[in-house]
Amino acid sequence: MEENLQQFAQTYAQGLWIASGIFAALALFRLVLVIKTKSQRAWIFKAKADFFVIGLKVFFGLGLIAFLADIPVWFLSVAQFRSVAPALPLSVLIFVLAWLSVQEIILCFTVSYTLIHQFIKRILFFLVSIFCGSSFILAAFIVPGTFLYPPQDSTIELQMPVKGTWLAANAGHQKWVNYHNNFPPQAFAIDMVKLNEAGRFFENEGIDSSDFFSFGDSVFAPASGYVYQLADGFPTQQIYKGVDSINPAGNFIQIHFGLNQYLFLAHLQAGSLQVAKGDSVQAGQFLALAGNSGNTSFPHVHIHIQDKPVLNDSLAKGLPFVFKGIERKRYLGWEKPAYPFLLRNDKFRN
């Protein structure tokens, strides 16, 4: 089967519309049912509910509040499909889930007499509440964890190595927003893809490297130092077929720019490298063109800093870094944050 990013995008969009439809139907069904059975329902304090029901209602309600906190973090930062899926169905699903949650939170203040008296309903509500409780665990770890980053004074400041508006496809300090975190030397690596004005990172069907706006874009030195190592001559991979576990970085430039600081720029285009081993480079200097070489799904620029020179040395540690002076768009508008560390799905520009 031919991998086709445009088809992925359509499949995600369909899935999101279907999920939105199901949850909207559920929310409406609940609303209609509650209105129709209004006479069999009362405020929980007036209904003389027992402690089992009150306890579950409190637990269920808190679980829903946790779920409400999970929704934006999960769908906007953690979800890898966000960069591919169209924004409209994703926004609709977030709205529908939030609507359903808020509606159910309000209903937690009421109780139906059948819940107080029917054994089956009590068991069912118990099971639903336990299931809902899992959102506590998600909220407890994912929500605060997603935004964790080492303190600013221990973070290296770089110049943004590309121009225009880019998206962090992988970034952050946790595995769930940055798969690089599975490899300690790459713990803080960022995969960057260039966006067009419409916020998309590819055009046409996304089956050719040239469909991607990153491909062939200029990459500049993020810091002043000297070229410690480089590789050139690796071919441009096919989309979603770039498996090169022996030379995962493909064509890369490694800059030694500070004590125990080795910076990698990877997946560059063969023949585009403007520097040689041992050259000194100035921050902002044009280095090469972005490409799709090595272990890569589609054209992007990979950047990370490690404290030892050999790529993926098992004793090496990844070092946190930011691009100074950038504007960042995380959830709503563009901002110029004082501490501009990036998470997956953040947009940034210089």
Question: Given the complex with Zn ion, which of 97 and 187 has the nearer CB atom?
Answer: 187
Q: Does 346 bind Zn ion (CB under 5 A)?
A: no
Question: Given the complex with Zn ion, which of 89 and 172 has the nearer CB atom?
Answer: 172
Residue with tokens 């260039």: 194
State the minimum distance, in angstroms, from the CB of residue 180 to Zn ion: 6
**Helices 51-72 and 87-107, interaxial angle, to 10°?**
160
State the minimum distance, in angstroms, from the CB of residue 263 to Zn ion: 13
Stretch that binds Zn ion, among 11-19, 109-117, 184-192, 322-330 (CB under 5 A): 184-192
Spatial CA neighbour of 28 closest among 104, 92, 90, 113? 104
State the minimum distance, in angstroms, from the CB of residue 72 to Zn ion: 25
The correct pick among 70, 191, 217, 346 for binding Zn ion (CB under 5 A) is: 191
Stretch that binds Zn ion, among 37-45, 122-130, 191-199, 230-238 (CB under 5 A): 191-199
SS3 label, residue 293: coil
Site for Zn ion in 301-330 (CB under 5 A): 302
Taking residue 73's Cβ as centre, other Cβ atoms within 10 Å add up to 22
Spatial CA neighbour of 282 closest among 228, 219, 224? 224
Q: What angle do CA 285, 290, 316 make, to 5 degrees?
A: 80
Question: Given the complex with Zn ion, which of 191 and 346 has the nearer CB atom?
Answer: 191
Question: Given the complex with Zn ion, which of 191 and 211 has the nearer CB atom?
Answer: 191
State the minimum distance, in angstroms, from the CB of residue 308 to Zn ion: 18
Q: What 8-state DSSP symbol labels residue 73?
A: I
Question: Given the complex with Zn ion, which of 135 and 178 has the nearer CB atom?
Answer: 178
State the minimum distance, in angstroms, from the CB of residue 185 to Zn ion: 12
Give CA–CA dist 267/295, Å, rounded. 8
State the minimum distance, in angstroms, from the CB of residue 320 to Zn ion: 16
Stretch that binds Zn ion, among 100-108, 135-143, 145-153, 298-306 (CB under 5 A): 298-306
Question: Given the complex with Zn ion, which of 70 and 191 has the nearer CB atom?
Answer: 191
Give CA–CA dist 171/321, Å, rounded. 11
Number of residues that bind Zn ion (CB under 5 A): 2
Question: Given the complex with Zn ion, which of 57 and 302 has the nearer CB atom?
Answer: 302
State the minimum distance, in angstroms, from the CB of residue 233 to Zn ion: 20
Q: Which residues are within 8 A (CB) of 151 and not within 5 positions of it... i.e. 6 or more apart?
A: none
Q: Which residue is nearest to Zn ion (CB)?
A: 302
Site for Zn ion in 63-92 (CB under 5 A): none
SS3 label, residue 32: helix
State the minimum distance, in angstroms, from the CB of residue 327 to Zn ion: 23
Question: Which element (helix H / strand E) includes 156?
Answer: strand 156-158
| Helical residues (DSSP H) of the chain, grouped into ranges | 5-36, 51-72, 87-107, 113-117, 119-146
Residues 70, 135 contacting (CB under 8 angstroms): yes
Residues 266, 229 contacting (CB under 8 angstroms): no
Residues engaged in binding Zn ion (CB under 5 A)? 191, 302
